[in-house]
Amino acid sequence: MTDIFSAVQLGDLTLANRIVMAPMTRCRAGAQDEPTPEIAEYYRQRAGAGLIVSEGVQPSIHGKGYYRTPGIHDPFQIEAWRTVNHGVHAAGGRIVMQLMHCGRASAEANKAPGAETVAPSAIASRHALYTPAGMAAPPVPRALETHEIAGVIEEFVQASVNAREAGFDGVELHCTSGYLPMQFLATGTNRRSDRYGGSPQNRARFVVEALEAMAAAIGAGRVGFRISPGSPYNDMQDDEPVETYRALLQATDRLGLAYVHVINVPIPSLDPLPFVRGNWNGPVIGNNELTLESAGRLLATGLVDAVSFGRLFISNPDLVERFRCGEALTEPDRRTFYAGDALGYTDYPTLEARMPA
């Protein structure tokens, strides 16, 4: 049986254990979309994870969709991320940056002046987003011209280079939750008639080309991607998820990427983890509402090489140590998940902090 506390190699990434901190939007970036000292402390506290995947980070001003999410497209942001990574590495951790271009899942009030909302097709999402002025409907996005797509891919490439410059160990391309890569993949949001639309292979082309270019820039062994086949989040619909994700996985399998990160939510036509294993030969990280016990059972199946936890890491910064010692877990306060200050962010105590002097 695979030991959850054993080391594992994901591409060029050496993990001290198989417990991954999943990416989680927390909406606490600074005025210039930079990570603050509080964000640096938040990640440092959780460096016991075998790997931290950061919150979604916009690769350009056009990629931002949510309130107070950070970027990696400005020198000030790059410098601020260096502080984050120094703290994680000094504590013995590893961290990759999740690159998140929201595409049509954007609120204009959250974007910088001059930033556009773009997507594969001019189809608006019906999923409202939070803004400082309240909930707002996303605008109708501008459909990207074929000749513009290479420029969007270059945004991901430059963001990957910037992430490495800032000290990240690698990057993860966010291809789920209804964001731009998934918008290209899904039939409901991609009505294109050029080489990026129509067949499953064409709809997968944008993601494949982005991953190819990112791998060429920083090394395939430092690039992963996250998927959730058939997820309806952010008003998504795909009429043929089996064909879509078979095309994506088989095309990316040859690239030698670090991992695929799978949100394991079965749908009537597809059981994600067995499906991924049948179409992908590289490392797999499994995710979705796991406990220590269910994660152990999942590792024992051989369907995954590592497992990721989200909310448990919010309220248990020393989650790995608590798992190792069999200690009780602290329940997270959902009221403090998004925005705010240290409350519900960096103030959850560790076991060590709770011990009497």
**CATH number of the domain that 311 lies in?**
3.20.20.70
Q: Is residue 40 part of a domain?
A: yes
pLDDT at site 357: 46
The one-letter amino acid at 333: D
Total domains, the chain:
1
Q: Is residue 242 part of a domain?
A: yes
CB atoms < 10 A from the CB of 343, how many?
A: 11
With 0-12 / 13-18 / 19 or more C-beta atoms within 10 angstroms meaning exposed / middle / buried, residue 162 is buried
| Span 341-356, average pLDDT | 87
Q: pLDDT, tens digit, for every residue of 207-237?
A: 999 999 999 999 999 999 999 999 999 999 9
Asked about 43 being catalytic, the answer comes back as: no
Residue 80 has pLDDT above 50, yes or no: yes
In the chain, % of residues over pLDDT 90: 98
Residue 8 has pLDDT above 90, yes or no: yes
Q: Is residue 204 part of a domain?
A: yes
The one-letter amino acid at 160: S
CB 139 within 8 A of CB 124: yes
**Which residues span the domain enclosing 256?**
8-354
pLDDT at site 352: 83
Q: What angle do CA 99, 329, 351 make, to 5 degrees?
A: 95
**Residue in this structure with the two tokens 């059972």, named with its chain if needed:** 297
3-state helix, strand, coil in the chain (%, to 5): 35, 15, 45
Q: How far is CA 100 from CA 86, 211, 307, in A?
A: 22, 13, 21
pTM of the predicted model, to two decimals? 0.97
Q: Is residue 211 part of a domain?
A: yes
Instruction: Using alpha carbons, select from 304, 263, 344, 345 the residue that is nearest to residue 22.
Output: 263
Q: Is residue 1 part of a domain?
A: no
| Confidence tier at 356 by pLDDT (50, 70, 90) | low
The residue annotated as part of the active site, out of 179, 196, 259, 348, is 179
pLDDT at site 354: 64
Q: pLDDT, tens digit, for every residue of 311-324?
A: 999 999 999 999 99
CB 63 within 8 A of CB 180: yes
Q: Is residue 269 part of a domain?
A: yes
